[in-house]
Amino acid sequence: MAQPLIAPSILSADFARLGEEIAAVATPGPTRADWVHVDVMDAHFVPNLTLGLPVVRSLLKSTDVPVDCHLMIDDPDRWAIGYAEAGAYNVTVHVEAAKDPVKLAKDLRAAGAKAGLSIKPGTPLEAHLDTLKHYDTLLVMSVEPGFGGQSFIADVLEKVRTARRLVDTGHLKLIVEIDGGINADTIEQAAEAGVDCFVAGSAVYGADDPGRAVAALREQAAR
């Protein structure tokens, strides 16, 4: 498999210093993040509220690290396109919230972004395989979306294994991404199950040196 991708989630960063927090994982070399993961929450789809398009626009101007927007919002059919048009590298919507996910993927791609589809821990993969043919990334949630610092739900690795198999046999063509509870204790089992891209919030921004945490996680995932 290709080199694992590490995507620090700024949900655990200091929101008053977001530019510096991203810069801490943007220096070229092993401590550089592959993507920066931005959690957009609307206090409706999930019980938490974070940030929206104006902040993402500013972040996009402040960094050359590809920005991975994870939209935990109602009505992504209406709002997701703005993130793609702003220049996000990947825009992920939740299958539980999207009304027409196939059209949404086409629109996101037409706007120049990769299209991502996320499934909550209790959402089965099988029901959405046809939809996933239109997507570039599959974000498997390994915690209930809404908050950082929760414990990893290992049961979701079965969905990762299924997705990995479908990618390796050519039935799907996408990056398998995992989000929630990824740290030094859990990343190896996720890597073994076939994850390509690892989101880590508290494990990166809770560390004394976020860049070193990125490098350490990537090394562990590659083993």
DSSP string, 47-70: S-B---HHHHHHHHHH--SPEEEE
Active site residue 39: yes
Which partner in Zn ion, ligand DX5, none is near 201 (CB below 5 to 8 A by kind)? ligand DX5
Active site residue 64: no
Of the pair 145, 166, the CB lying nearest ligand DX5 is at: 145
Residue 59: Cβ-neighbour burial (10 angstroms; 0-12, 13-18, 19+): buried
C-alpha distances (whole Å) from 97 to each of 54, 100, 185 are 22, 9, 31
To ligand DX5, the closest distance from the beta carbon of 168 in angstroms equals: 26
SS3 175: strand
To ligand DX5, the closest distance from the beta carbon of 2 in angstroms equals: 22
C-alpha distances (whole Å) from 193 to each of 1, 32, 108, 140 are 12, 24, 28, 12
Binding interface with Zn ion (CB under 5 A):
39, 70, 179
Which of the following is catalytic: 34, 39, 136, 196?
39
Q: Please check if 149 is assigned to a binding site.
A: yes
Binding interface with ligand DX5 (CB under 6 A):
9, 11-12, 37, 39, 70, 143, 145-150, 179-182, 199-203
Of the pair 84, 140, the CB lying nearest ligand DX5 is at: 140
Which residue in 160, 124, 123, 165 sits closest to 144, CA to CA?
123
To Zn ion, the closest distance from the beta carbon of 139 in angstroms equals: 7
Size (the chain), residues: 223
Which of the following is catalytic: 34, 136, 179, 196?
179
Binding residues for a divalent metal cation: 37, 39, 70, 179
Q: Which residues are catalytic?
A: 39, 179
- What are the binding residues for substrate? 9, 70, 146-149, 179-181, 201-202
